[in-house]
Amino acid sequence: MLKFDDRINFNESKNDVLAVGELLIDMISSEYDDNFECNSYNKFFGGSPANIAMNVKRLGINSLVASAVGQDGLGGFLLNSIRNSGIDTSCIQQLEYSTSLVLVTKSKTTPTPIFYREADYHMSYTLEIEKAIKNSKIIHFSCWPISKLPVRNTIENIIRVAKKNNLLVCFDPNYHPKIWEKGENGIEYIRSIIGKVDIVKPSEDDAERLFGKDCYENQINKFIKLGAKLVIMTLGSEGAIISNGKEVIKIDTMAKEIVDTTGAGDAFWSGFYTGIVKQYTIRQSIMLGFAVSAYKLKYVGAVVDLPKIEEIKKLYNL
């Protein structure tokens, strides 16, 4: 059991976080617009795992990204963004498919996305990725890469090797029916994955999509019963409720100013991972996660110029 006041002991590894999955372009509307009536969009670096890798690098720990992009200008832009952040790109495959893209509405609540996917779901399992797994402490992935074949097989191999090597495996169960093949039961597959990981961070909406409407406590218990060791359920402006199966804590939001919610969840993961790698307790690391998320919410785009985690700690009096 992952106790809130415990620290997680990791094996000595060169890399801290291996973030696996989509690397793509976020085209975000220049105005607040839930109906796609805006005529102008701005290009941003995107993809949840890549956002996390870049964030934790800025916060002060090491990261790698395992992903796939196209052999095109957008793929080149993404690769250069990763390289400029000081992150090794050896686990990013360049394929003869178009780079994936998401059209997103600028929002103060939940962004509305339209998905255009190609290269990201063709990522294959390679010796380079296996080497990266064995040299890391934490594996992170979301629903995006498990929603399509053949990359789903790659994720299953990564989980298997990660567990064999005693890594911490973390999963963002951000189920969205539009990224799954029609007729496929994505919900059942996600439920089967939860028992293979250590930590999950569903939003209130994620839980409702997976299990239907219910109270927070019951929703969290459903994740615990499926095998998750720690469940962090975010509740938007109401903060979060967290359980390890024995204890439950409630945390209020730290956000005072909201400009753009894109990437707020990734920012949380980034602060949390940086905290546990730097040997803060799980409770302290959760608080750092919410502080980094609150900092990010003040800016447009999924990846912003974050200070080191020690400065975040001072800014939010943690």
Looking at the domain assignment, is residue 159 inside a domain? yes
Contact of 275 with 309, CB cutoff 8 Å: yes
Q: How far apart are CA 192 and CA 197, in angstroms?
A: 10
Residue 64 inside a domain? The answer is yes
Which residues span the domain enclosing 247? 17-315
Beta bridge partners of 113: 104
92, 158, 149: which is closest to 122 by C-alpha?
149
Contacts of 153 (CB under 8 A, 6+ apart): 125
Is 172 inside any structural domain?
yes
Does 11 map to a domain? no
Contact call for residues 241 and 233 (beta carbons, < 8 A): yes
Q: Are 161 and 134 in contact (CB under 8 A)?
A: yes
> What is d(CA 220, CA 207) in angstroms, rounded to the nearest whole number?
8
Q: Which two tokens stand for residue 103?
A: 């059209």
pLDDT value, residue 310: 96
Percent of residues, the chain, with pLDDT higher than 90: 77
Question: Minimal CA–CA distance to 169: which of 199, 201, 142, 145?
Answer: 199
Please give the average per-residue pLDDT across 16-30, as a whole number: 92
Which comes out higher in pLDDT, residue 220 or 114? 220
Q: What is the CATH number of the domain that holds 124?
A: 3.40.1190.20
Residue 34 in this model has a pLDDT that exceeds 80: no
Q: Which residue has the tokens 């800025």?
A: 58
Q: Considering the domain boundaries, does residue 176 fall inside one?
A: yes
Instruction: Dump pLDDT digits (tens) for 59-116.
Output: 999 999 999 999 999 999 999 999 998 999 999 999 999 999 998 887 776 667 889 9
Is residue 229 included in any domain, yes or no?
yes
Of 121-130, 137-146, 153-162, 255-264, minimum mean pLDDT range: 255-264
Indicate whether 272 belongs to any domain: yes
- Burial environment of residue 40 by CB neighbours within 10 A (0 to 12, 13 to 18, 19 or more): exposed
Q: For the chain, how many structural domains are there in total?
A: 1
**Structure tokens given for 37:** 């009536």
Flag whether 4 is in a domain. no
48 — phi, psi (to 5°)?
A: -50, -50
Q: Report how far residue 46's alpha carbon sits from residue 52's, in angstroms, rounded to the nearest whole number.
A: 10
pLDDT over 80 (residue 137) = yes
pLDDT at 272 over 80: yes
pLDDT at position 204 is: 93
